[in-house]
Structure 1
Amino acid sequence: MRLEVDIGNTLLKWRVIDAGNVIKKGSVLTQEFAHDSFGDVVNDRVDEVFVGSVAGFECDKRLRKVCRALWEVEPIFAKTSSQCAGVTNSYEDPSKMGVDRWLAMIAAYKRVNKAVIVVDCGSAVTVEYLSDKGEHLGGYIIPGLRLMRESLLKNTAQVRFEKQPAEIVTHPGVSTAEAVLQGSVYLFKALAYAIEGDLEKGAELFFTGGDGALMQEMIQVGRYESDLVMDGLAWVCR
């Protein structure tokens, strides 16, 4: 069996693959990751561990320690490269690109083998453009919904949220807190429509990340794939 792990800045996600099928999966806050975070997988025979991580050295070190202790396995960490699985990186120094972006691009492209736009809505929102030939044409990185709101909370003492709205709304707020909450969603929605406008004929649009389903729902175009980053691990770690 293979354990696949996607370690983001906020959330650590994992799944177990056996004979090509996902048989178990789970998640935990990255900062709370510990020996028991993989549930009853600790009792399974894990033969290999593939990892995509942007969480930093200490978290990666902790995962290595857990894998050695539980299964006597050395995890394989995916790395960004200049080319992999038919996808060509546009960065002069590929190591400067977050491996989560690289994995998601490869997974999306290999799914359809044609031009794609990949939108990962996590702590940050990343937008990547790939040609029919798998060439990375560039992308954008902007703050995600949570970061936008936290930046205003941190730097504006009088802005406080008593509660999150029960539903997503974008009409103008009638209080400072509403204006911040609904303003961030308004920008999020505007970005979604801008991305839709970038779609070339025949291109496929993929959304992933914690807020990816929300963005896809806003424009009703493209598809949401919750595990796109982990889907890329088998291509990069082999």
Structure 2
Amino acid sequence: MLLAVDVGNTNLVFAVFDGDEVRARWRIATDPRRTGDEYAVWLLQLLSIENIERDQIKRIIVGSVVPRADHNLSVLAEKYFGITPLIAGRGAAEWGFAIDVDQPSSLGADRALNCIAAHDLVEGDKVVVDFGTATKFEALDYNGTYKGGIITPGINLSLDALVGKTAKLPRIAIRAPEGRSVIGRNTEDQMLIGIFWGYVAMMEGLIERMRSEIGRPTKVVATGGLAVLFDNHTDIFDVVDADLTIRGLKLLADRVAS
């Protein structure tokens, strides 16, 4: 089995692959101060609950946008599993696709892994959208070459800024507004309409501009926790896969093993 670890700015996801299937996955808040021993206490209990023995894990790969967490995850892998982990984007686990931008080394691990998985999922040109702490839009051509992208504040980050910089606006939960009206009748509805439909309009507008600039038929692949919510209120996505990043880790690990 393969243990894939996706380290994001907000959450860290552990996923166990049995062959090509995700046998189990768990999410924990990202904290660079968490030690390898602390990870082990948490993870080994969860493996036991899923009836997965520690020695069934034969490979470990880590994709991280939080460099301070990498050392402690390596300690977890080596001390408790006896495995030197692959670090996505380094050494044998280099990305393996062309990055046609001004600063190729600046491409984050999560974005690169999404590109790998999306290119495996759909043919032709594609735009990859990842709803995370930041929302990222990636442009890939039909050869899988990364051509550039867009970074915007995530919807929760936008809401945090709105609430944090105003004295009277309340904290609200992100959800789809009831009905299709974009004229709110009270403060909370007005905020929700602005955040939700404003974000949908931004997303659809940017994707259409990217498609126009690419100039060829382009598929849209979406991932991240809010992708399913938005998918119910827009027809702009061709594929929605919440596991896109960890599938990219699996593809990268398999390429190294082959």
Question: What is the TM-score when the length of structure 1 is the normalising length?
Answer: 0.86
Partner of 1:36: 41
**How do 1:39-188 and structure 2 match up within 5 A?**
39-40=46-47, 43-45=53-55, 46-57=57-68, 59-79=69-89, 84-85=95-96, 87-161=97-171, 163-164=172-173, 167-169=176-178, 171-188=182-199
1:236 aligns with 2:241: no
SS state at 2:233 partner: helix
CA gap 1:9/1:166 in 2 versus in 1, 3 angstroms: closer
Show CA shifts across 1:219-238 (max 9, x none).
13311111111111244342
Aligned-residue CA RMSD in angstroms? Answer: 2.6
Show CA shifts across 1:54-105 (max 9, x none).
1231x22222222223212222211279x844x3212333221111001101
Q: Is the 8 A contact 1:172 1:179 kept in 2?
A: yes
1:225 aligns with 2:256: no
CA gap 1:69/1:167 in 2 versus in 1, 3 angstroms: same
CA gap 1:48/1:125 in 2 versus in 1, 3 angstroms: same
**How do 1:202-217 and structure 2 match up within 5 A?**
202-217=217-232
Deviation, structure 1 residue 180: 2.8
Task: Provide structure 2 residue ranges, at least 5 long, that are not aligned to the other structure.
Answer: none
The amino acid of 1:56's aligned partner reads P
The amino acid of 2:248's aligned partner reads G
Paired-residue identity, %: 26
Q: Structure 2 CA distance, aligned partners of 1:174 and 1:16?
A: 47
SS state at 1:23 partner: strand
SS state at 1:141 partner: strand
Q: Structure 2 CA distance, aligned partners of 1:166 and 1:196?
A: 22
Q: Structure 2 CA distance, aligned partners of 1:36 and 1:22?
A: 22
CA gap 1:44/1:80 in 2 versus in 1, 3 angstroms: closer
SS state at 2:156 partner: helix
Q: Is the 8 A contact 1:79 1:236 kept in 2?
A: no
Task: Provide structure 1 residue ranges, at least 5 long, that are not aligned to the other structure.
Answer: none
Q: Structure 2 CA distance, aligned partners of 1:126 and 1:144?
A: 9
1:7 aligns with 2:7: yes
Show CA shifts across 1:108-164 (max 9, x none).
012223211100011111111111122222211101110000011222122222x53
The amino acid of 1:20's aligned partner reads D
Question: What is the TM-score when the length of structure 2 is the normalising length?
Answer: 0.80
Show CA shifts across 1:166-203 (max 9, x none).
64356233444433332111221103322553546542
The amino acid of 1:37's aligned partner reads W
Partner of 2:204: 193
